[in-house]
Amino acid sequence: MDSKDNLPTPCAGIRIGDMAPNFSARSTLGPIELADYRDRWVILFSHPADFTPVCTTEFVAMAQEAAAFEERNCALIGLSVDSLFSHFAWLRAIRDRFGVEVRFPLVEDPSMAIGHAFGMLAPGDSDSATVRSLFFIDPRGVVRATTCYPANVGRSISEMLRTLDALQAVDRDDRLAPANWQKGGPLLHPVPTSLDEVYGAEAGGGWFLREEG
């Protein structure tokens, strides 16, 4: 056996700056097409399987923060290989047990066609249980950030919101978001692109790291 065979499935394929591949699919809100979400931000995320503990906590937490994503003009789209009827049963079980309604679409991807198009699975990989990928897609359909977590660690909803806030803020003002940036905090000026800019910027402090304001 090649040593590569023991490595976990990488999240590869789609990279930052790529156009998100369009898809049409059945979802818990009826048929959807990704292209219909142009002019909105989209967070497309996959989960390994319905009726699993970590995935359930993620869906409860995301549904509880649905208004925060709406406020940011961001649609959530979940996806797994499970059938639409499995999705219905799981979301109903979540409502019954936690009193939380998941009102964003959960897409079925039984052939893994969407998963493969986004590089959520390695070519030839038949084990969907490795997949916990997430894509931030901007209103032009461009992938702006991705994350990839293993099946046994749930994602942070507050980090999803922070990343979304940061992407929107840097776009608005042509700025950079520093480490641990939070909404409303100071952004950084873009990097200089000429020596004149370097010398001009020196008056206001360090030329390679300048906070706004």
* Binding site residues, ligand BEZ, CB under 6 A: 48-49, 52-55, 129, 151-152
User: Distance between CA atoms of 68 and 70, rounded to whole angstroms?
Assistant: 5
In the bound state with ligand BEZ, the residue whose beta carbon lies nearer, of 25 and 54, is: 54
Q: Which of 36, 45, 123, 50 is nearest to 86 (CA)?
A: 50
CA torsion through residues 107, 111, 115, 99, sign? positive
**Least distance CB 129 / ligand BEZ (angstroms):** 5
By annotation, the residues acting in catalysis are 55
**Least distance CB 153 / ligand BEZ (angstroms):** 9
**Least distance CB 66 / ligand BEZ (angstroms):** 20
In the bound state with ligand BEZ, the residue whose beta carbon lies nearer, of 13 and 48, is: 48
In the bound state with ligand BEZ, the residue whose beta carbon lies nearer, of 80 and 168, is: 80
Query: CA 173: distance to chain centroid?
Result: 22
DSSP string, 14-47: S-TTSBPPP-EE-BBTB-EEGGGGTTSEEEEEE-
In the bound state with ligand BEZ, the residue whose beta carbon lies nearer, of 55 and 148, is: 55
Adjacent-strand bridge partners of 108? 80
DSSP at 192 = P
Q: Residue 167: count other Cβ atoms within 10 Å of its Cβ.
A: 18
For 140, what's the count of Cα atoms within 13 Å in the CB-facing half-sphere? 8
**Least distance CB 52 / ligand BEZ (angstroms):** 3
